[in-house]
Amino acid sequence: MSRVVVLDHGSGNVRSAVRALEAAGAQVELTADHSAALAADGLVVPGVGAFAATMHQIRAVGGDRLIEQRLAGGRPVLGICVGLQVLFEYGTEHGQRVKGLGQWPGEITRLDAEVVPHMGWNTVDVPEGSRLFTGIGAERFYFVHSYAARSWDLQPLAPLAEPLITWSKHGGDRFIAAVENGALTATQFHPEKSGQAGLRLLRNWLDTLPELAA
């Protein structure tokens, strides 16, 4: 059984993520303790609401340093919703541009659609070779967001494997629904609210933890 820490940085509704990970087969702890988070097989970084507020919360508990330390050692991290968005360089909301964690280049911007927020179930366009979406590439997932990463600007560096990007659309606007980038994985949708498909996705992620920790 994999040991997973859900980073407790003050984000709302994290208990559903804890329960979903437990249902997927993990031993889960909700904490901001650095020793526990560094020792865990996987770290989950949730986020809801505004980019700026989530960044403030993450930095307040030293989550930025924690994520950096884990990734420097090739230790798996999973971001969910705004937990995906903060992995990019910047987020711009209501005219305010805020610095993110900078793991990936690019900026989070408002969706260009007639109806915002994008709320409800949607399909995704999964790349060939995805481990995260094994067996569930044709399923729908639950989204709640007004902002997104709408381009992918990271250039692959040999001999590292090229990141796998899953896309979705809201109205005519195309945005990143998930990223698989070595030890760093993230979803814009909420797997913990996506029923059996979300549970399978979490199991798929958990299945990769022993391999990445080897």
Give me the active site residues, please: 81, 190, 192
Burial category of 89 from C-beta neighbours within 10 Å (exposed 0-12, middle 13-18, buried 19 and up): middle
Three-class secondary structure of residue 163 per DSSP: coil
d(CA 211, CA 180) in angstroms, rounded, equals: 14
Tell me phi and psi for residue 185, to 5 degrees.
-130, 145
State the burial class of residue 102 (Cβ atoms within 10 Å of its Cβ: 0-12, 13-18, 19+).
Answer: middle
- Euclidean distance between CA atoms 7 and 69, whole angstroms: 14
